[in-house]
Structure 1
Amino acid sequence: MAVPKRKTTPSRRGMRRSHDALKAINVQEDSHTGEYKLRHHIDLKSGMYRGKQILEPKGDY
């Protein structure tokens, strides 16, 4: 069984865990509908991306 030879210092432990932090989601308000959406993604409700109609808009079910 593998056993560490030396105790891991708090600094080294923190460096290893530096990528575990939660990152904020990058959302912005859509200029046409006013709803929040992810940047660089198609707005699924309207089907628009960068001012162009990409998908057919979803209807109300």
Structure 2
Amino acid sequence: MTRMQTIDKDLALSVVFRSGGHIGLTWTGSWSAWVTSRLGAGEHLAAAASGIRHVLQGDPS
């Protein structure tokens, strides 16, 4: 499992690599909520990774 978080620790993302090229993403926040997403390999995963990078870096675009 890989875990990343924002500098202010308001949002964290845990990544679990699963069989068949799938990953499980679990989002947690200081507001005591979580969301788990499952993504397949390929373009959807690449697009999600790009969006996640922007969120964790605080990029508003």
TM-score, normalised with respect to structure 2 = 0.24
Q: Whose strand proportion is higher, 1 or 2?
A: 2
Which one has the bigger helix percentage? 2
TM-score of the superposition, structure 1-length normalised? Answer: 0.24
Which structure has the bigger radius of gyration? 1
Greater relative contact order structure (CA < 8 Å, 6+ sep)? 2
